[in-house]
Amino acid sequence: MAVLVGKQAPDFTEAAAIGQTTKTVSLSDYKGKNYVVLFFYPLDFTFVCPTELHAFQESLKEFESRGAVVLGASVDSAHSHMAWLRTSRNDGGIEGVTYPILADIHKRVARAYDVLDEAEGITYRASFVIDKNGVVQAQVVHHRPIGRNVEEVLRLLDALQYSEEHGEVCPANWTKGKAAMKATREGVTGYLKK
């Protein structure tokens, strides 16, 4: 599996379902303007996946308040996405999800991000935090039975933005509002003494 951290995120232009419409979405549309949280999930109409899509929706205002857009992606068609978007939460659907869901039916995006399980023809669960310059700053990949923690994705975004703004590094278990440190010997010793 490729490590994309520190590299330009592979650009893409794909159809995306947004509610009951489709729109063409390109990663380059956001460059210089927004942070991007791009996440891959295996398939529509499955089991762990709707819990994750709803979790991203429930935190959408938090992402937006940080200047980030959320993009979901799977290898399903836009028609499948729209059918799932019409399905109520009580029936395992994702009705109410408002962010774009890429229809990576040709699997170009999944291959470019190296998250496609070629033997199964579907993706792993993967999350990428991309900065405003289009550089991947965080990459987390899970096997399909393991659901992701959306709060952790927010924490990664917070740490990135804090580091950019203050020029400091964020230690283990850092969360917004906690102390960070200078990336120096004195910085770490001062932090550990507290």
Identity of the amino acid at 12: F
Q: How far is Cα 156 from Cα 137, in angstroms, rounded to an integer?
A: 9
Helix axes 150-166, 48-58, angle to 10 degrees: 40
Point out which residues pair with 139 in neighbouring strands. 128
Round to whole Å and give the CA distance between 147 and 126: 10
Contact assessment for residue 12 and residue 4, using Cβ atoms and an 8 Å cutoff: no
Contact 53, 87 (CB under 8 A): no
Q: Judge whether 170 counts as a catalytic residue.
A: no
Of the candidates 37, 38, 49, 78, the residue annotated as catalytic is: 49
Distance CA 51, CA 133 (A): 30
Q: List, by residue number, the catalytic residues.
A: 49
